[in-house]
Amino acid sequence: MTDDQVRLTDPLSFPSGGGAAVRAYLELTKPRIIELLLVTTVPAMFVAAGGWPGGRLIAATLVGGTLSAAGANAINQVLDRDIDRIMNRTRRRPLPTDRIEPGRALAFGIVLGAAGFVWLWQATNMLAAVLSTLGLLVYVVVYTMFLKRSSTQNIVIGGAAGAVPVLVGWAAVADSLALPAWVMFAIVFFWTPPHFWALALRYKDEYAAAGVPMLPVVVGERQTIEHMSAYTIILVGVSLLLYPLGAVGWIYLGAALSLGVWLFASVRGLMAHAGDAMRFFGYSNVYLAGLFTAMAVDRLFA
């Protein structure tokens, strides 16, 4: 058997060349996570504007938000590269597979984060730029460096980073923050624990092997699902607050009620079928996307 044949059958082998390097750096930014973050940014802009906020402003905000989130994800992978080598879910990432050197990955992340700040400052306003960079710092410093390896509440507190994009979207339109913006922040904040704990249920053994005290590792499946249920109740309640505040109308209210009942029924179903954790993980993505899409549609047709 030749060396080429060995490489072709190695599950951790990757093609080389310029295109492969570009793909590796793209992987470092975690594009799928960025997509979800941006799903919350644009509807927040619709609500802040009371309708269409303008195509140029949307595009400018998305570019800046993407740069900041990509930078945060790249730096996160540098700091977590030892854990990523242990877990099957992450061992094919660019750093565990030695496709990118840690120093270059770190520099890449810092440049992206700085570019996001400058872009948002120039294309939108300083408040949006500061908020976006604050989200990066919470994710990298608070969550990755301090909480992830030391606390079962890591994703609860660190989840604030994923909620910052709604504030960025609002600030890009209004150059200020109002109560509805903070309610949207709270929606994403309370959505994050049940969403991520579903993933942790699926990969509990891998987190245990890596020494990461995710909630299922420490308290077990049943208590984790109880925590997920409690956060889901809070999430649904918070999501309804936008209506009495006058930020949205009946279109959003109907969607929030329907999606909330569905999500809660789904999380309670895990009590009998904990093996469906990844199905709930997917449901939670649909819930968040549906809820924020309803905000935008509501403001367009209000």
Query: Is 3 part of any domain?
Result: no
Cβ atoms of 255 and 290 within 8 Å: the answer is yes
Long-range residue pairs from 149-152, CB within 8 A, at least 24 positions apart, any chain: 149/211, 149/212, 149/213, 150/213, 151/213, 152/213, 152/214, 152/215, 152/218, 152/219
Please tell me the distance from the alpha carbon of residue 58 to that of residue 120, in angstroms, as a whole number.
11
Please give the tally of structural domains in the chain: 1
Please tell me the distance from the alpha carbon of residue 85 to that of residue 295, in angstroms, as a whole number.
40
The confidence score (pLDDT) of residue 15 equals 56
Query: Is 7 part of any domain?
Result: no
Query: Is 79 part of any domain?
Result: yes
Cβ atoms of 241 and 227 within 8 Å: the answer is no
Query: Is 2 part of any domain?
Result: no
Q: What is the per-residue pLDDT across 286-301, written as a single tens digit (0 to 9) for each?
A: 999 999 999 999 999 9
The confidence score (pLDDT) of residue 36 equals 77
The confidence score (pLDDT) of residue 9 equals 43
Among all chains, which residue has been given the structure tokens 């093609």? 15
Q: Residues in the chain with pLDDT < 70? A: 1-18
Query: Is 264 part of any domain?
Result: yes
Please tell me the distance from the alpha carbon of residue 208 to that of residue 212, in angstroms, as a whole number.
6
Please tell me the distance from the alpha carbon of residue 45 to that of residue 257, in angstroms, as a whole number.
22
Please tell me the distance from the alpha carbon of residue 247 to that of residue 243, in angstroms, as a whole number.
6
Cβ atoms of 270 and 232 within 8 Å: the answer is no
Query: Is 17 part of any domain?
Result: no
DSSP character at residue 51: S
Cα of 270 vs its chain's centroid, Å: 22
Domain containing residue 127: 23-300
The confidence score (pLDDT) of residue 8 equals 42
Q: What is the pTM of this model?
A: 0.92
Whichever domain contains 149, its CATH number is: 1.10.600
The confidence score (pLDDT) of residue 125 equals 98
Query: Is 32 part of any domain?
Result: yes
Exposed, middle or buried: residue 268 (CB in 10 Å: 0-12, 13-18, 19+)? middle
Which residues, at least 6 apart from 273, have a Cβ–Cβ distance to it below 8 Å? none
Query: Is 256 part of any domain?
Result: yes
Backbone angles phi, psi at 87, to 5 degrees: -85, 130
The confidence score (pLDDT) of residue 1 equals 42
Exposed, middle or buried: residue 94 (CB in 10 Å: 0-12, 13-18, 19+)? buried
The confidence score (pLDDT) of residue 3 equals 43
